[in-house]
A and B are shown apart, each in its own frame.
Chain A
Amino acid sequence: MAKVRVKGLRKDFGSLEVLRGIDLEVREGEVVCMIGPSGSGKSTFLRCLNFLETPTGGEVEVDGYLLTDGKTDLNKIRENIGMVFQQFNLFPHLTVTGNITMAPLDRKKLDKPAAEKKARELLERVGLADKADAYPAQLSGGQQQRVAIARALAMDPDIMLFDEPTSALDPEMVGEVLAVMRQLADAGMTMVVVTHEMGFAREVADRVIFMDGGVIVEQGTPEEIFGHPREQRTIDFLNKVL
């Protein structure tokens, strides 16, 4: 079953056309990695999936709900779509536990002990059980990003979006974040990942999508894209980054 179905998605910022007709389906449990040069529209595409950006045209359907019809309760849909940002965007005025429990307490009406128990389990999962009472500013970038993943998971989403989750990290912290993402993929989470980590895309993705100039230029298995790219633009890009 398709978790995400996108048809003819367009997005303009004024006269700047960022997305020029994107069609994509993501199956349940599939891990899709989106690669491509800066400004190719990957992040904008991702942000259209949970309507942080409102598309200019086309259709976005998530979990069978058509987001683009203007009638769907976006807040309800967003509870099912976790998002992890390049800049972490943890809430600096809350502790790690506070960050993770805020949305479940507010939206799912969990009681505090239940939400905190869940936060502890998630922190265990991302390897930060000892940081429950720390504030974001006291954590390294890699730790902050792992907390951000735990925060997104606290709402029990069935889709996770990752917007260049390791791009703001020091090199030695990239591995710990990718490890958590890999574990999530192995557990069967449906994931759409915008990334510059070609190693991760090659090893973890079920499908790799190469975007350039606001369109999908080429897609296929990691083996197809990295091993035998057909399009010249893909070849040029991979030559530059590999």
Chain B
Amino acid sequence: MRYLKLLEESFPMLVKGLGGTVQVTVISLLIATLLGLFCCLLQISGKKPLQWISQIYIDVMRGVPVMVLSFFIYFGVPNGLGIRLTAVQAGVITLSLNAGAYLSEIFRGGIQAVNVGQMEAARSLGLPYGRAMRKVILPQAVRIVIPSMVNQFIITLKDTSILYAIGLPELMQSGSLIVARTFRSFEVWATVAVIYFIIIFILSKISKRIERRLHNGKGKG
């Protein structure tokens, strides 16, 4: 009963926090997907300088922890360049850069997993490279890529909690504010954990359903 009362009191705050988490995640993933696609195109362009640029970006993002990157962007960049960033802006930039690098590798892997014969067949019919990519390679790559892509989405969603450290208004911050006021850390953190779990569980289920639908009646040729 005491728990229900606690839940009732902290409910608006948790919802607000969750809203922040979802908002930052969705915006970051949209940007990251575009960034990842762009970077992946550079990777498969066959042009050495372009490949180097994207490879350096990927290696740097892989090698720097999200929290360090967020501190650099939120505290370091404004200090060095004299621009001001809000915590949300810095958080979105951090997660977009980070997830973009991983998504780029996921996309590249998916495209390269499509048999070379598919490209040859499309080109032999007279399709230019770009059309062959769009009509033949990408539709197949998407199917291959979806499970890893959803996995990255989930990682990014969880990484928003790290951005608590730069003061991003999200679920983790709501949790700690509620604890500071009520001193009920056992119940509060358990509740926060359950909320994360439910959101991610739903996301996994949706992805399974999409996967199944894409594979319906089709196999490899």
Residues of A at the B interface (CB closer than 8 Å) are 50, 52, 75-76, 78-79, 81-83, 85, 87-93, 102-103, 106-107, 135-138, 144, 148, 151-152, 155
Contacts and interface: CB of A to CB of B under 8 A. Distances in A.
Contact of B123 (A52, A93, A106): A52
Contact of A89 (B117, B126, B131): B117
B125 A90 contact: no
B136 interface: yes
Given A106-B135, A135-B218, A89 B125 contact: no
Contact of A78 (B125, B217, B221): B125
A137 B126 contact: no
Interface in B118-158: 118, 120-128, 131, 135-136, 139-140, 143
A79 B125 CA distance: 5
Given A103-B125, A107-B126, A155-B126, A91 B221 contact: yes
Contact of A75 (B127, B143, B221): B127
Interface string B14-39: 00000000000000000000000000
Contacts of B48: none
B121 A93 contact: no
A106 B132 CA distance: 10
Nearest to A51: B123
Contact of A93 (B122, B126, B128, B218): B218
Interface string B102-124: 00000000000001011011111
| Most B Cβ at <10 Å: residue of A79, A81, A92, A152 | A92
17 contacts: A50-B124, A52-B120, A52-B124, A82-B124, A89-B117, A90-B121, A90-B221, A91-B121, A92-B218, A92-B219, A92-B220, A102-B135, A103-B127, A106-B135, A107-B126, A155-B125, A155-B126
Nearest to B216: A135
Interface string B182-221: 0000000000000000000000000000000000011111
A208 B124 CA distance: 24
Contact of B221 (A88, A106, A151): A88
Interface in B77-94: none
